[in-house]
């Protein structure tokens, strides 16, 4: 081999070494370590994943309602107590005469009145002077001789009975010619019914409302039963 061929072969070998070194340098990082190409999954993650600042903030929690906002129910108002009725006291009274001629109802001030008016005295009979009595009536309310039921009006019922009465005048006419029933519908006094007129007896049922007291008194030729209004 000639010197010229030897020099040419050495030049070819030197060029190959340079090309090889350039290739190795291109495939390594600055430290001389080969850097692998980025994977597709890593690239996708870098593009899709949002930044921490873009994440929506959590919804604020709702505070429970305040206990003071619920109003406690007020206590019910106490019921008005029912007044205690004034008891009816059984009372005896002497009527002015033995002849009852009229019965009327009216109001006077703070009370209602049932007024029994008497006429002239007849000749006293063997039974002595006439008498009267006020008492509480007991059910059933019935007509004396017949026993026919009587429907009384009013929350409470009493009875007024006169005995030793003259029922027929000397002429044969009845002494009492007034109404056998009254329905005045006053504040207290509601109803009055004659339930007996026989054998010298005259009896009346009297219905009334309210807790007021009842009294019986005499004024001239009148016997007055008074019913106090409730205060």
At 112-130, the pLDDT tens digits run 999 999 999 986 666 678 9
Q: Is the pLDDT score of 89 beyond 50?
A: yes
Given this model, what pLDDT does residue 230 score?
86
CA distances from residue 55 to 52, 70, 164, 225 in whole angstroms, order as listed: 6, 39, 114, 97
DSSP state of 138: -
Given this model, what pLDDT does residue 172 score?
85
**Domain with residues 91-228, CATH architecture:** Sandwich (2.60)
Tokens of 161: 């009975």
DSSP state of 58: P
Mean pLDDT of 34-62: 44
At 53-80, the pLDDT tens digits run 444 444 445 445 454 444 455 545 556 6
């Amino acid at each position: 081999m000639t010197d010229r061929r030897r020099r040419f072969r050495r030049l070819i070998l030197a060029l190959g070494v340079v090309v090889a070194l350039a290739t190795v340098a291109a495939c390594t990082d600055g430290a001389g370590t080969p850097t692998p190409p980025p994977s597709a999954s890593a690239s996708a993650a870098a593009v899709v994943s949002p930044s921490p600042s873009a994440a929506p903030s959590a919804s604020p929690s709702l505070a429970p309602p305040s206990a003071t906002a619920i109003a406690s129910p007020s206590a019910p108002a106490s019921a008005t107590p029912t007044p205690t009725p004034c008891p009816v006291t059984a009372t005896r009274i002497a009527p002015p005469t033995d002849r009852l001629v009229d019965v009327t109802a009216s109001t006077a001030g703070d009370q209602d009145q049932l007024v029994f008016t008497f006429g002239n005295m007849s000749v006293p009979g063997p039974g002595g002077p006439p008498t009267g009595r006020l008492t509480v009536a007991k059910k059933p309310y019935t007509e004396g001789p017949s026993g026919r039921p009587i429907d009384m009006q009013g929350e409470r019922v009493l009875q007024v009975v006169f005995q030793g009465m003259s029922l027929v005048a000397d002429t044969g006419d009845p002494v009492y010619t007034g109404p056998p029933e009254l329905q005045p519908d006053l504040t207290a006094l509601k109803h009055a019914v004659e339930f007996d007129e026989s054998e010298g007896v005259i009896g009346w049922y009297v219905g009334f409302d309210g807790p007021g007291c009842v009294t019986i008194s005499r004024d001239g030729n009148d016997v007055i039963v008074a019913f106090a209004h409730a205060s």
